[in-house]
Amino acid sequence: MRDPVTPLSSANLVEIDNVSFGYDRRTVLSGLSMNFARGKVTAIMGGSGCGKTTIMRLIGGQLRPNSGEVRVDGQVVNRLKRDELYALRRKMGMLFQFGALFTDMNVYDNVAFQMQEHTGLSEDLIRDLVLLKLNAVGLRGAKSLMPSELSGGMARRIALARTIALDPMLIMYDEPFAGLDPISLGVAAQLIRRLNDALGATSIVVTHNVRESLPIVDHVYFVSAGSIVAEGAPGPMEHSEIPFVRQFVHGEADGPVPFHYAAAPYAQDLGLEARVG
């Protein structure tokens, strides 16, 4: 049931409102606000360690912000009780970076897991649904393999089938393209788009893979050091003159994101100063 306070017509499924988050002394996100429109595929792009994955964990309620609000379908995630959070999570799917398939179960049982845990469906019906999901990712024939027998790309697709097992309204992808070969890359990108449209879901893709993700998304956020640098439709972003975006999209080594990690002057580290002085 929806929260009666929130209008049904709210265009955004997920809203991040002025959220700050940090571990102990290290600040990861500061005053971040983002909106994810219903039915759209939105990408969050940024370098490694910029807080992208943290954003997804905040949406999924695995982390709680120090301040601000995260709303999913009108519910404030960070104020939900455990049971309410679990109820909300049944409507979410998250694809983890390396699939996170349960290694002690075969492919079939992995995909059937949520159906068996949460629905009272008969085994026959679950079997049909599992085969349907596996067929959607093109791996119906792999149903009795163990995760250790799958290639990286196959594991990712099985994990995708598991993610959509209960037809979630929100699908989150954590680096879905990391470590895939070129064919798997294209397949994964197309699957994300097609599944989103077929399920009428909303998707969030956290990635640093520009070439694969820009063609399939509706909106992009560029994040650096825990705050938004730029946002917009993918077309204009590709030709953006904002230095960070340009460096990121074109993969330039140096720019606003420096090549060198902060260090003392080179000469000093080499001990040259003393000799010269």
Partner 1 sequence: MDNRRKRTLPNQVRRIGFPVVNGIWRMGYAARFLILTLAYSGVSFRRFRLTVREMFFTGVLSLVIILVSGLFVGMVLGLQGYDTLQRYGSADALGVLVSLSLVRELGPVVAGLLFASRAGSAITAEIGLMKATEQLSAMEMMAVNPIARVIAPRFWAGVFSMPLLAALFSAMGILGGFLVGVVLIGVDDGAFWSQMQAAVDWRQDVLNGVIKSFVFGIAVTLIAVFEGYDADPTAEGVSGATTRTVVTASLAILGLDFILTAFMFRGVG
Binding stretches for partner 1 (CB under 8 A) = 60, 62, 86-87, 89-90, 92-94, 96-98, 100-104, 113-114, 117-118
Residue closer to partner 1, measured from CB, 159 or 185: 159
Q: Identify whether the C-beta of residue 19 lies closer than 8 Å to the C-beta of residue 191.
A: no
Q: Are strands 92-95 and 170-174 parallel, antiparallel or unpaired?
A: parallel
The minimum distance between CB 157 and partner 1, in angstroms, equals: 15
Q: What are phi and psi of 276, to 5 degrees?
A: -65, -45
Residues contacting 249, CB < 8 A, separation 6+: 210, 214, 237, 238, 240
Closest distance to partner 1 from the beta carbon of 98 (Å): 7
Work out the angle at residue 198's Cα, subtended by the Cα atoms of residues 194 and 201, and round it to the nearest 5 degrees.
95
Q: Which is nearer to partner 1, 109 or 231 (CB)?
A: 109
Closest CA to 102 of 59, 55, 165: 165
Closest CA to 175 of 189, 163, 162, 161: 189
The residue assigned the tokens 């959220």 is: 19
156 versus 219: smaller Cβ distance to partner 1: 156
- CA–CA dist 17, 10 (Å, integer): 15
CB of 129 to partner 1, least distance (A): 15
Cβ-based nearer residue to partner 1, 80 or 216? 80
Q: How far is the CB of 8 from partner 1 (least distance, A)?
A: 24
One-letter amino acid identity for 105? M
Q: Which is nearer to partner 1, 5 or 263 (CB)?
A: 263
How near is the Cβ of 160 to partner 1 at its closest, in Å? Answer: 12
Backbone angles phi, psi at 99, to 5 degrees: 90, -40
Closer CB to partner 1, residue 53 or residue 240? 53
Minimum separation from the CB atom of position 238 to partner 1 (A): 32
Plot region of 143 (φ>0 → left; ψ -120 to 50 → alpha; else → beta):
alpha
